[in-house]
């Protein structure tokens, strides 16, 4: 085997997956992206211009793709989502290559678009080289400025609030500090709280429980992107309880799913939170809900 062939087989990549599903999260309330190690390419690249597309799980935020020439690899990020994603490419290991621009590099990938992140130049094409890349991704427009919009209730019937903003059980991190958990019976229709475009969905997970390690925190969810760049997350939905698809436009009050008890959950409820991408990290933002009698005031 030639040194370059050995280098190609040694090539590794780590892909970050999306939002709260298989990409989802290590556990529901704490949307911490999981990473999946990808093995060597399915086929050994040979001629100039070959593309190496690393496998990514269903629902993954982005795909890492490498284009090979005799002297370099071009690293691309492909975004299949109907909204923007911010990515950061880092070198976990590097020998015999020089990256241009130098890594890490961070940029925005537009909806259903591709961006060239870096070019990895072989220092000596005749010698062996080895590198490993890690690609992290966060959904949404970086630095979005949410408007002071009042959201409508994401359900029709009056319900109890199980956990409000700042709740010590699971609303104590930046991503969920402003979240609200509504006690909804399984199968209750979930409604869009604001007009937007469906950005991500997960609908086939069918387990629940408090053991975060056992279930990995996965939960069925819907993420909707709003016109101001903010995103609403509706989580813990029933198995097969997602009634919309990515790219679909929805109006406030439209039925989008059915509540459930999946993921890190001790009882059926709807986890609702509004988030923004604050620069490679999701943070929740305060929001107002309007009910039949006016604005709801949720104690922290």
Q: What is the pLDDT of residue 35?
A: 39
Parallel/antiparallel/unpaired status of strands 97-100 and 85-95:
unpaired
CATH number for domain 150-296, candidates 2.70.70.10, 3.40.1440.10, 3.10.520.10, 2.60.120.10: 2.70.70.10
Q: What is the pLDDT of residues 4-42, one digit of tens each?
A: 333 332 333 322 222 222 222 222 222 233 333 332 333
H or E element: which one contains 45? Answer: none
What is the rounded distance in angstroms from the CA atom of residue 256 to the CA atom of residue 154?
9
What rounded mean pLDDT belongs to the chain?
76
Asked if residue 87 has pLDDT above 50, the reply is yes
- Do the first three CATH levels of 3-139 and 150-296 match, i.e. the same topology? no
Which of 4 and 229 is assigned the larger pLDDT?
A: 229
Q: What is the pLDDT of residue 128?
A: 83
The CATH fold assigned to 3-139 is: Immunoglobulin-like (2.60.40)
pLDDT category, 282, cuts 50, 70, 90? very high
Q: What is the pLDDT of residue 150?
A: 93
Mean pLDDT of 48-76: 76
Which of 169 and 287 is assigned the larger pLDDT?
A: 287
**What DSSP designation does 142 have?**
B
Distances in whole angstroms, Cα of residue 120 to Cα of each of 74, 88, 90, 179, 238 = 6, 15, 12, 42, 44
Q: What is the pLDDT of residue 4?
A: 37
Give me the residue spans of the domains in the chain. 3-139, 150-296
Q: What is the pLDDT of residue 50?
A: 62
Asked if residue 226 has pLDDT above 60, the reply is yes
Number of helices (H) and strands (E) in the chain: give both, helices first: 2, 25
Mean pLDDT of 260-266: 70
Q: What is the pLDDT of residues 213-225, one digit of tens each?
A: 333 345 789 999 9
Q: What is the pLDDT of residue 47?
A: 41
Q: What is the pLDDT of residue 55?
A: 53
Question: In angstroms, how far is CA 161 from the centroid of its own chain?
Answer: 26
Q: What is the pLDDT of residues 170-200, one digit of tens each?
A: 556 778 788 888 888 999 999 999 999 999 9
| pTM, to two decimals | 0.77
Asked if residue 244 has pLDDT above 70, the reply is yes
Q: Which of 98-102, 141-145, 169-173 has the lowest mean pLDDT?
A: 169-173
What is the rounded distance in angstroms from the CA atom of residue 251 to the CA atom of residue 245?
14
Asked if residue 153 has pLDDT above 70, the reply is yes
Parallel/antiparallel/unpaired status of strands 288-291 and 150-152:
parallel
Residue 256 C-beta-side C-alpha neighbours within 13 Å? 36
pLDDT category, 169, cuts 50, 70, 90? low
Q: What is the pLDDT of residue 204?
A: 73
Q: Note if the bond before 263 is cis, omega within 30 degrees.
A: no
What is the rounded distance in angstroms from the CA atom of residue 139 to the CA atom of residue 145?
15
């Amino acid at each position: 085997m030639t040194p370059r062939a050995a280098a190609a087989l040694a090539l590794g990549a780590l892909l970050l997956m999306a939002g709260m599903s298989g990409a989802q999260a290590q556990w529901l309330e704490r949307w911490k992206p999981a990473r999946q190690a990808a093995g060597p390419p399915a086929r050994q690249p040979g001629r100039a211009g070959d593309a190496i597309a690393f496998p990514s799980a269903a629902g993954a935020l982005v795909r890492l793709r490498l284009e090979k020439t005799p002297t370099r690899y071009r690293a691309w990020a492909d975004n299949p989502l109907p909204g923007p994603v911010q990515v950061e490419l880092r070198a976990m290991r590097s020998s015999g290559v020089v990256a241009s621009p130098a890594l890490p590099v961070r940029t925005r990938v537009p909806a259903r678009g591709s961006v060239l992140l870096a070019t990895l130049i072989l220092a000596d094409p005749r010698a062996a080289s080895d590198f490993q890349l890690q690609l992290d991704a966060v959904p949404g427009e970086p630095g979005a400025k949410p408007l002071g919009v009042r959201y409508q209730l994401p359900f029709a019937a009056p319900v109890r609030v199980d956990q409000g903003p700042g709740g010590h059980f699971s609303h104590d991190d930046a991503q969920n500090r402003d979240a609200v958990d509504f006690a909804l019976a399984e199968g209750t229709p979930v409604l869009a709280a604001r007009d937007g475009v469906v950005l991500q969905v997960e609908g086939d997970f069918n387990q629940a429980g408090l053991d975060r390690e056992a279930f990995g925190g996965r939960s069925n969810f819907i993420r909707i992107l709003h016109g101001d760049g903010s995103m609403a997350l509706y989580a813990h939905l029933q198995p097969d309880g997602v009634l919309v698809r990515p790219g679909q436009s929805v109006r406030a009050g439209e039925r989008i799913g059915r509540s459930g008890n999946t993921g890190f959950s001790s009882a059926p409820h709807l986890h609702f939170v509004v988030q923004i991408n604050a620069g490679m990290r999701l943070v929740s933002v305060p929001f107002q809900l309007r009910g039949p009698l006016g604005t709801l005031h949720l104690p922290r």
